[in-house]
Structure 1
Amino acid sequence: MAAFRGPKVWLWRWRRNPLRRRSDRLEAWVVLAAWTFTVLGGVVTGLLATRSVEHNLDRQRVEWRPVVAQLTKNAPGTTAPSASGSERVWAEVRWTGTDGSAHTGQTRVVPASTVGTPVTVWTDADGRMVTKPATRSEAELRSSLIGVLVGVTAAGVPFLGGRLARGRLERRRMDEWDQEWERVGPLWGRKTW
């Protein structure tokens, strides 16, 4: 099949050619714009998202603090060691914020812990309980993955837009070919002798 196509000519839509149609030039510009916006938009958006997530996670590492809290009720469960040794249960804890106000919340603790057992929880600047902040390497991995996901998603918009535009141009070109063939096709059936 490739033998019938002839040699591949690079940038054929941009070269001077008396057979080049207006739709070929328009398609060349659509392809150029779509690829430019796809590549640049994806890269720039991905980098901005990565930087934003990194900044947010760095801020959390700086602002969030560990606080010692005490259990307010006995934790459910038994003291028998589990097979994995990492089993935790939910229990209510109380801690004092930096402003001196009392706070309560729920966190995971060792099963069968008694009232008053100290537990380390993490709080934000307002004294609300939060998860432990991501380490530097975890933050880099998270921000990279989110940046790639956002970049690919952002790149998909102009790519799909370009594909749709090219599809419409192709349908229009085929309709023009049909009209030309309806006009010229019947002339081929006549005998000229």
Structure 2
Amino acid sequence: MRDVGRWVMCRVRLYRPDGNPLRRRTDRVEALAALACVLMFTASLALAFLTGNALYRDGLAAERSGQWVAARVLRDAPVPRTSIDTVRTELRTPVSWVDTHNRQVIADAPVFLGTKAGTTVRVWLDAKGRPGGTQPDRAMTVARALAGATGAVTVAGGLLLGCFALVRRSLDRRRYAEWDVAWLAVAGKTRGANPETS
């Protein structure tokens, strides 16, 4: 943990605007790029919060908008024959129920393997009246919201780090070119001042 703190303090000292005359233009540009990345990452936290909040609200709406109905199975669901079949415990089978307008509806809904025709089962209908699996629960809603927010932060952080790495690479190339020119100038002056070495 101490090493991380030391690294952070080193970065702060490197990028802070202190008016040092030895700082090159490339150093100032890199400091501005680092500040821009930090500000954009901070803004991405707000975006992640909005993403997570939207997913959470959608999940709550899905929890409240559907309904359970009692449906009658119209055809026998297959009986599991092998141990591999028992892994898939549900299969979509035709069922019928009466909707709120007193009309009979027939659709495929998930029922357990081996369910006999004529059996009454509970079926979850979504907001559009389509039979689904099970009612979305609060744990799933929270998990989706957290995953969405975490994903947004991760993507934003990765993109910003990649952009900063490209900027720094470009600046490093410029620094190396400037250093080469400076070394050649120093070597030329040294050679001119000491003609015996030529």
Name the TM tier (shorter chain): 0.7 to 0.9
Q: What is the aligned counterpart of 1:114 among 113, 116, 119?
A: 116
Unmatched 5+ stretches in structure 2: 1-9
- State the Cα deviation string for residues 45-78 of structure 1 (Å, max 9, x = none): 2211110111001101111111111111111116
1:138 paired with 2:149, answer no
Q: CA 1:72/1:17 → structure 2, altered by over 3 Å: closer, same or farther?
A: same
Matched positions, count: 185
Aligned to 1:177: 179
- Identical aligned pairs, as a percentage? 25
Larger helix share, 1 or 2: 2
1:61 corresponds to which letter in structure 2? E
Q: Which amino acid aligns with 2:33?
A: V
Counterpart check, 1:37 vs 2:40: yes
- In structure 2, the residue matched to 1:70 is 72
CA RMSD of aligned residues (A): 3.0
Amino acid at match of 2:60: D
Q: TM-score, normalised by structure 1?
A: 0.80
Query: Higher mean Cα deviation, 182-191 or 61-70?
Result: 182-191
Per the alignment, do residues 101 and 163 of structure 1 end up closer, same or farther by CA in structure 2, a change over 3 Å counting? farther
Greater length-normalized contact order (CA 8 Å, ≥ 6 residues apart): 1
Amino acid in structure 1 at the alignment position of 2:53: R
Q: 1:72 to 1:19 in 2, by over 3 A?
A: same
Cα distance change on mapping 1:99 and 1:188 into 2, 3 Å: farther
Distance 1:78 1:31, change over 3 A: closer
Q: TM-score, normalised by structure 2?
A: 0.78
Q: Within 2, Cα distance between the matches of 1:9 and 1:137? A: 40
Distance 2:128 2:90 in 1: 27
1:86–1:182 CA distance, 2 compared to 1 (3 A): closer
Taking a change above 3 Å as real, the CA distance of residues 181 and 102 of structure 1, as seen in their structure-2 partners, is farther
